[in-house]
Structures are given as structure tokens and as C-alpha cells.
Amino acid sequence: MKNLVLVLSILFAIAVLNPQIYSQKKDHSKSKEFRTNLKDQLNLSEEQEKKIEALKLSHEEVLIKFRTDLELKELETRKLKSSENFSRSAMINLTKEISAIKNDMALARLNHQMDVYDLLDESQRKIWLDKQEQFGHMKHKMKNKMRERRDW
């Protein structure tokens, strides 16, 4: 009987204290919905769609390379921290390399967006800019909500 009570109390504690049960799943449906609505509103020609898809694929390829480089540098950082030869200059150099990779990723993203923008005609550009502004406000709201949760 004591064993049963012990097992049940442990199971209950695991169920109550497990953060995975209460955590929210990432919902990417809004961003997919945003992209689908934008694509519909832009009324792209077949040629534009093909060119944009090709740009998207090449951009993804570049980002995969950047992410791989970034992960390797972060691994180097963890290795350095766990070694006995832990120096300030080595950490500074790795941090600069990581920052450079992140900067290159941001520039690649901007260049990709501008490449897509260049494929659009004037009316499509106006719609695209309006939607980009709306999406920027949504991102800003989400950041503020995260800060509010973190602050209390």
C-alpha cells in the first residue's frame, strides 16, 4: 500500500511539475496565413511566381550555410568555455565571428527582400510595403508581450 501511494504521488508530481504539459506550441499558422494572403493580394504573374520561388530557394540555401557556420562557432564557444585554456582574446574573437555571421544573415535577408521587391510592379510594391508595415507592427506587439511576461 505504501509503495502504491509513493508511486502515485511521484506520478502526480511529475504530471503537475512537467513544464511540457503547460507550454504553448509554436503557432506558425499566422505567418503562413500572412504569406498566403499577401501572395493572393499581390496577384503575381506566373513568371513572377517562378522567379520569387527561385529566389526563395537560393536564399534558403544561403541561410542553411550561415546557420551551419553559426552552430559550429557556438560549439567552438562551448568547447572553449569547457577547456582549461580559456582566454579573453579567444572568446572575443569567437564572439566577433558569431556577430559577423549574424550580420551576414541579416544582410542576406534584406537582399532577398529587395530582390523580391524589384520583381514587383508599382501597384504590387505598394501592397507589399503596406503588408510589410503591418507585419512589422505585429512583430513589435509580440516583442512587447514577451517583455511584459518577462518583467513580472
Residue 66 lies in a domain: yes
Res 149 pLDDT > 80: no
- Separation of alpha carbons 34 and 39, rounded Å: 9
Please write the tens of the pLDDT for every residue from 32-52: 666 667 778 888 889 999 999
Residue 17 lies in a domain: no
Given a contact cutoff of 8 angstroms between Cβ atoms, the answer to whether 87 and 9 are in contact is no
CATH number of the CATH domain containing 68: 1.20.120
Mean pLDDT, the chain, whole residue set: 82
3-class DSSP assignment, residue 26: coil
Given a contact cutoff of 8 angstroms between Cβ atoms, the answer to whether 58 and 66 are in contact is no
Residue 91 lies in a domain: yes
Residue 9 lies in a domain: no
Q: Which domain holds residue 95?
A: 50-128
How many domains does one find in the chain? 1
